[in-house]
Chains A and B, each alone.
Chain A
Amino acid sequence: QKEVEQNSGPLSVPEGAIASLNCTYSDRGSQSFFWYRQYSGKSPELIMFIYSNGDKEDGRFTAQLNKASQYVSLLIRDSQPSDSATYLCAVFSGNTPLVFGKGTRLSVIA
């Protein structure tokens, strides 16, 4: 059973701080990794993906991947109240579609 684990939160950070969201996965053969943002009552929205070890930056977002530790994270710099949402980590292993974690709820306090 392929698993993706996330802390459910809520993770509360003050406005302007860095929010760090973490995800671990069980399948060592996993190939690609995705972060989706889901606002309350809305559908998941793809915000970042990463395939290789290291960091990938896109604006205020940085995805970090460590395949040896089976760990992927999302950093949000200069957090804004509009970043308050649930963040879903998803992992692709090649043989099956994406496996999603249950998400971490982020609350950015103004």
Chain B
Amino acid sequence: DAGVIQSPRHEVTEMGQEVTLRCKPISGHDYLFWYRQTMMRGLELLIYFNNNVPIDDSGMPEDRFSAKMPNASFSTLKIQPSEPRDSAVYFCASSYSRDTQYFGPGTRLTVL
């Protein structure tokens, strides 16, 4: 298996623009997690899905953030409108349970 796939790997955008991050989990994994990592706050869980259903989105910072998982092999994290404080590395991880998680390579987002 190719592991968790994320795109794009790098994204530079201007404040106010819409940003869409994409993730393909490992085949057969029922759980998908979106994280944000910054130096100040470390790794933060934003939202996670089980069998394509959002289970806990309490980590989503505000209404500008939304996530969907239309099928077992694809998920998106959208930020609209983006702000400079959203600049971070966004990771997607997948798992066959909630504990043993495997991370994708991440998307480095810079909002100018």
Which residues of A come within 8 Å of B, CB atoms? Answer: 31-32, 34, 36, 42-46, 49, 88, 92, 96-98, 100-103
Contact = CB atoms under 8 A, between A and B. Distances in A.
A88 B103 contact: no
Nearest to A99: B45
Q: A-B pairs with the 7 shortest C-beta distances?
A: A102-B42, A92-B99, A43-B103, A100-B43, A97-B98, A44-B103, A43-B106
B54 to A, nearest CB: 13
B69 to A, nearest CB: 15
Contacts of B99: 31-32, 34, 49, 92, 97-98
Contacts of A44: 43, 91, 103
A105 to B, nearest CB: 11
B71 interface: no
Contact of B100 (A34, A45, A96): A34
Contacts of B98: 92, 96-98
Given A42-B105, A100-B42, 19 more contacts: A32-B99, A34-B99, A42-B106, A43-B91, A43-B106, A44-B103, A46-B101, A49-B100, A88-B43, A92-B99, A96-B56, A97-B98, A97-B101, A98-B45, A98-B98, A101-B42, A102-B42, A102-B43, A103-B42
B49 to A, nearest CB: 11
